[in-house]
Structure 1
Amino acid sequence: MGVIKKIGGFCKKHLKLIIILVVIIGVVLFIRHKAQVAAQAMLDAQNEPVTSTVEKMDLKKSVGVTGTLTANETLTVTSTLGGTGVTGVKVSTVNYEVGDYVEKGQTVVEFDGDDYERKLTELNLQNDITNTESSMSIEDMQKSIETTQKKIDEKQKWLDDNKAIYENLKDAFDQYEKYKDSDPSVVERWNRESAAAAGRSEPVSVQGYEAVEDEVETLKEQIRTTQNKIELAQMQQNYAQNYTQVDAKNDLYESMDKTKVAAPISGYILTMNVEEGNNYTQGNTVFTIADTSGFIVEATVNEYDVANIQKDLPATVKFEATGDEEFTGTVSFVSIASESTTSAATASSNYGAASSVSTTGNAASYKLKIKMDGTDDRFRVGMTAKASIVLDSASDVLAVPYDCVQQKDDGSFFVTSIADDGTKKDIPVNKGLESDYYVEISGDGIKEGMTVEAIVSDAPSTDIMDYMTFE
C-alpha cells in the first residue's frame, strides 16, 4: 500500500508531465503507422506502370510562327503636282476621312487649280508667238535668197555679154606677158585691145571680169548657206509644233489632272496626311489606302524551319482578338534570302562595299506570307497572328504518345502492350507521321484501344512524405 500510495502521489504531483508524455507517445505511434502505410503505397506505385491507349486520330506536323495581319494590298499615295521641289500647293478639298471606304478612281483629295486655265492660255499665246517668229524668220531668209539670186542673174548677164571681150583681153595679156620683150606686135596688140575695152560704156578688164566672177560665186555660197538655215529653221519649227509644244501642253494637262488625287484601288483609308487649307509639298504622302477584300499574315520563320516550308502549304491562324477560333490560310510567299542578308545588301548599296551586317551568334530569319481564306468582320490590320503551318498530315491513323515507342539496339521500334491480367508483350511497329506529342504507328498486332506502356522520366515519387496523409 505504501508503494501504491507513493506512485499515486507522484502521478498527482506530475500529472501535466504524464499527460505530455502520453501525447508524445501517441503521436510517435501514429506517425509510425502512417509511414508504414506510405512505404507500402510507394512500393505499389513503383510497381505500377505508366500506360497509354492506342487511339485513332488525325495527326498534323506543323511549324508555329507569329506575325501581323495586313491587308491584301496597301498603297501609299503621293502627288507630283507642281514639279520637283515645288511647295505651297494649297489643299482645297478632302473628300474622305480615315476609315471611309473608297472605290477605285474616286477623287479623295483635290488641290487648288484655279490658275491652270490662265497657264493654258499663256502657253497657247507663247506657242503662237514662237511659231509666228519662226515663220517670219524663214520668210525673211527666203526673200534674202530671192534678192541674192537677182544680183547673181544681173552679174551673170554682164559676164555672158562681155565674155568674148574678156577672152580676147585675156589672150592678148597672156601673149604680152610672154613675148613683150621680143615681139613688138604683141605689145601693140595688148595696148590696142585694152584701150578699146576700157573705152566702152561699161569698161571691161581682165581683173574686173574675174572679180565679178568671184562675186557670183560668193553670192551663190550665200544662197546655199541661207537654204541650209531655212531647212534647219523648218526642222526646229516642226519639232516645236509636234513635240516640244505638245509635251508642254500635255504636262500642263497632266498637272491639271493631278489637282485631283484619286484612289488607285478600292479599299479603306488608313491614314490621311493632308488637311484642307494647308499647303502640300510634292512627293509627300497624301493618304494610304488598304484593299481589305483579302488579308495576309506577314511573319518570320527561323532558318531551322524555313527549308521545310513551301508555297501553297495549308495553315491555321488564331488571333488574340478572336480567342481560340481558328481560321485557315495558305502560304503564298517564302523568302529565299534572310532578313539579315537583305539588310546587308541594302547597307552595301547605300554605303559601299565596305559596309556589312553581322549575324554572328544569331539564327537567321526569313519572311513569309500566309494568304487568308476569306475575310471576317473582326479582322483589323495590325492584329497579332499566331499561325501553324501544316507540313504534313495523316487522317484516321493509330497513334500513341512519343514515350510509348521504344527503340532496340538494331534501330527497330516496338511498343509494350499490357493485357488485362498485367502481362506484357513487345510488339514491333513502324513509325509514321510525328506531331508535337503523338506519333503514328502501324504493325501486326496493333489495335485501337490497346493499352501500352510509356517509358517516362517522370516516374512515381520516391519521397515517402508524398504518400503520407494527415487528418
Structure 2
Amino acid sequence: MNKIKVVQLTKKYKKIIISLGVVIVIGGGIFFIKSKNSFGGEINSLSDYVRTVNLEKSSINNSITVSGKVASAELTSVTSSFSEKIKTLNVKVGDLVKKGDVIAILDDTNIKKEIESKREDISTEREKLKASYDKTINSLNTAKANKSLNSAEQDKLVNISKQNLDTANYEFENCKASFQSEESKYKTMISAIKDKQDAYDNSIKNRDNLYSAWINSGGATNSKAYEDYKAAQDDLSSKERELEEAKSLYDYDRIAGNYNAALEKYNGKLNVKQTAQSEYDSAVSTRAKTINNDDSEIATINESLKEINTQIQKLDKNDELKALEEKLEKTVLKAESDGKVTELKATVGSMTEGVIATIQSTDKLIISVNIPEYDISKVTVGMKAEISSDSLTEKIKGELVRISPTASQVENNSGFSADIAVNDAKGLFIGSKAKAEIIMSSKENVFVVPLDAINDIDGESKIFVKDKTGEFKETKVTTGMKNDYYIEISGAELKEGLEVKANVNLEEFDNNNFESDMGGGF
C-alpha cells in the first residue's frame, strides 16, 4: 500500500482507528496508538492519543543513506578486430551466457583460402630448403672426410720428420761425446806447449817490429838497426826449434789431426740435426695449418646448415601464417565473462564493426551512488553497507569499494561518485534504483528509542515510561550513539518490555504530515 493510500484510509477511518487502537509498523519501529479515554468515549482528534514503543535491545548504526542505480561490476564487450560478415549469431539480448560460450561466428571462407595459399608457399619453400640442407650435409661429410685424410697424411709427415730428428739427435749426441774427448786431448796438448807457442809468437812480433825499424832507418846492413833485426831473426829460429821440439814431444800432429777430424764430423752432425729440427718444425706447422683450414671449412658449412635450419624454423613459425591462424581463431567470438547480454549490435549477414555484444555480470553488481560533500569526510573505502530496493524483500549486505577523488555535479548537487559492491546480488536488477546505508560505526545489544522519545528536562535526558497504573513516569537515562531516527539509551531502571512514550507533538500530526511521518520511520 503506498503512502497516499495510507493517508486516505486514515482520513476515512480516523475514528475507528482511534477507538479500537492499532499497531503501526513504521520503518522497522513498532508504535502502539491507544486512546486515553474509554473505548466508549467520543474521539475528536489524534491529539487525544500518545505513541509508545516497547523497549527492546537491538543494534544501532551511525550511518549515512545514499541512493543510486544498480550496475554491473564486470562489463565485457565481444568485439572483432577485423571486418567480416557474421555467419552465425547464437544469442539475443537478455540471454545469460557463461565465459567461453560462442556468441557469434564470422565468415571464415577468405581467411581459410589465405591460410591454404600460405601453407602451399611454405611447403614449396621447405622443399627448396630441404634440398639445400641435404646438399650442405654432403659437403659437410666430404669436408670431414678430407680432414680425416689430411690429418692422417700430416700426422705421417710429422712422424717421419720426428724420427729423422730423433736419429739426428742420437747421432749428434754420440759424435759429440767423441768430439769432446778429442777436444779435451787437443786442449791439454795446446796447454802443454802454450809457453813455447807464446814465446814463438812473441819472437815473430819482435822480429817483424825490428825489421820495420831497420827498413825505416834506410836499410843499411852496417847499421845498428840491421844488427838488432838479425839478432831477432836468430832468436825466432831458436824459438821455432824449441816449439817444434815441444810439439814432437807432445805428439802435436796426431792430436791436432784427430781433433780436426772430430770437429769436422761434429759440425756435420750438428748441421744434420739443425736441418732435421727445421724440417720437423715445418711439418708441425704445416699440419696445424692444414687442420685449421679443414676446421674453418667445416665451421663455414656448419654455419650454412645453421642458417638453413633457422630458415626452416621460421617456416614452421611463419609470422604471416600464425597471424592468419590467429585471425581464423578470432572468427569465433566468445564471451569473456559470465553474465547477461545487455546489448547486441549485429545480425546474421551484417559486417562486423567494433563491439558486437555487451555482457554484464548479473552476479557481481554494484550500486553507483553520489555521496554529498558534507558527508564525504565521514566515509572510507571498506565500510560496510546495507542495501534496500523495491525488488528486495529484506536488506542485503554490501561494501564501499570506490570513492572518486574529485567532486562532480549530479542533478544540481555537488558530491563524490562512489561504488558499493553487493555481496549477494540475488533479487537486484541492473538499472533499477536502490538505497544504501553506509555504516560508519555500530553498536550491538543496546537499548534504542526514537529520537523524539528523549526529553531534555532541567539539562538531563529523560524518557517517560508507563507504570502499572497506566501513567507515564519520568525516568532519567544516559544517551549514546544516534542516527537520523534512533538514539542509544542506558540507565539503571531500564529493562526489556517497558512501554516508552514517543513524545511527538500530536497537534501537528494532522493529515498533511501524516504521510511524511509514515514514510520516515525510525
TM-score surpassing 0.5?
yes
Alignment identity in percent? 15
2:475 matched residue in structure 1: 427
Larger Rg: 2
Change beyond 3 A, Cα 1:130–1:77: farther
**Letter aligned with residue 67 of structure 1:** G
1:382 matched residue in structure 2: 431
1:368 matched residue in structure 2: 420
Find the partner of 2:398 among 301, 311, 331.
Answer: 331
* Cα offset, 1:155, TM superposition: 3.8
Q: Indicate the SS of the match to 1:256.
A: helix
Change beyond 3 A, Cα 1:155–1:127: same
Partners of 1:452 and 1:100 lie apart in 2 by 50
Change beyond 3 A, Cα 1:190–1:398: closer
Cα-Cα RMSD: 5.4
1:269 matched residue in structure 2: 341
Contact (CA 8 Å) 1:73, 1:291: kept in 2 or not? yes
Change beyond 3 A, Cα 1:158–1:331: same
Q: What is the correspondence of 1:72-151 to structure 2 with a 5 Å cutoff?
A: 73-78=74-79, 89-93=83-87, 95-96=89-90, 99=93, 101=95, 103-104=97-98, 105-110=101-106, 112=108, 113-114=111-112, 115-127=114-126, 129-130=128-129, 133-151=132-150
* Cα offset, 1:367, TM superposition: 3.5
Contact (CA 8 Å) 1:269, 1:290: kept in 2 or not? yes
**Structure 2, unaligned runs of 5 or more:** 1-46, 176-259, 409-413, 509-522
Q: Does 1:260 align with 2:332?
A: yes
* Cα offset, 1:278, TM superposition: 3.8
Partners of 1:106 and 1:226 lie apart in 2 by 58
Change beyond 3 A, Cα 1:214–1:188: closer
**Letter aligned with residue 398 of structure 2:** V
* Cα offset, 1:70, TM superposition: 1.6
**Letter aligned with residue 287 of structure 1:** A
Contact (CA 8 Å) 1:267, 1:292: kept in 2 or not? yes
Change beyond 3 A, Cα 1:100–1:413: closer
**Structure 1, unaligned runs of 5 or more:** 1-48, 82-87, 195-203, 344-361, 459-471
* Cα offset, 1:66, TM superposition: 2.3
Provide Cα deviations, 1:214-233, integer angstroms capped at 9, x if missing partner: 22111222344455567767
TM-score normalised by the chain length of structure 1: 0.55
Change beyond 3 A, Cα 1:416–1:229: same
**Letter aligned with residue 245 of structure 1:** D
Q: Indicate the SS of the match to 1:292.
A: coil
Contact (CA 8 Å) 2:466, 2:499: kept in 1 or not? no
Partners of 1:164 and 1:372 lie apart in 2 by 98
Contact (CA 8 Å) 1:71, 1:295: kept in 2 or not? yes
Partners of 2:438 and 2:282 lie apart in 1 by 100
* Cα offset, 1:247, TM superposition: 8.3
Q: What is the correspondence of 1:192-211 to structure 2 with a 5 Å cutoff?
A: 210-211=281-282
Find the partner of 1:216 among 281, 287, 296.
Answer: 287
Find the partner of 2:484 among 427, 436, 450.
Answer: 436
Contact (CA 8 Å) 1:102, 1:263: kept in 2 or not? no
Contact (CA 8 Å) 1:333, 1:370: kept in 2 or not? no
Q: Does 1:299 align with 2:295?
A: no
Q: Indicate the SS of the match to 2:156.
A: helix
* Cα offset, 1:97, TM superposition: 6.3
1:287 matched residue in structure 2: 357
Partners of 2:49 and 2:389 lie apart in 1 by 33
Range that drifts further, 259-268 or 219-228: 219-228
Q: Indicate the SS of the match to 2:362.
A: strand
* Cα offset, 1:428, TM superposition: 0.8
Provide Cα deviations, 1:16-61, integer angstroms capped at 9, x if missing partner: xxxxxxxxxxxxxxxxxxxxxxxxxxxxxxxxx9995332388864
Quick check: which one's helix share is greater?
A: 2
Aligned residue pairs total: 355
Change beyond 3 A, Cα 1:142–1:107: farther
Provide Cα deviations, 1:315-348, integer angstroms capped at 9, x if missing partner: 2134xxx7xx76632214534xx421899xxxxx
Change beyond 3 A, Cα 1:150–1:59: closer
TM-score normalised by the chain length of structure 2: 0.51
Contact (CA 8 Å) 2:161, 2:283: kept in 1 or not? no
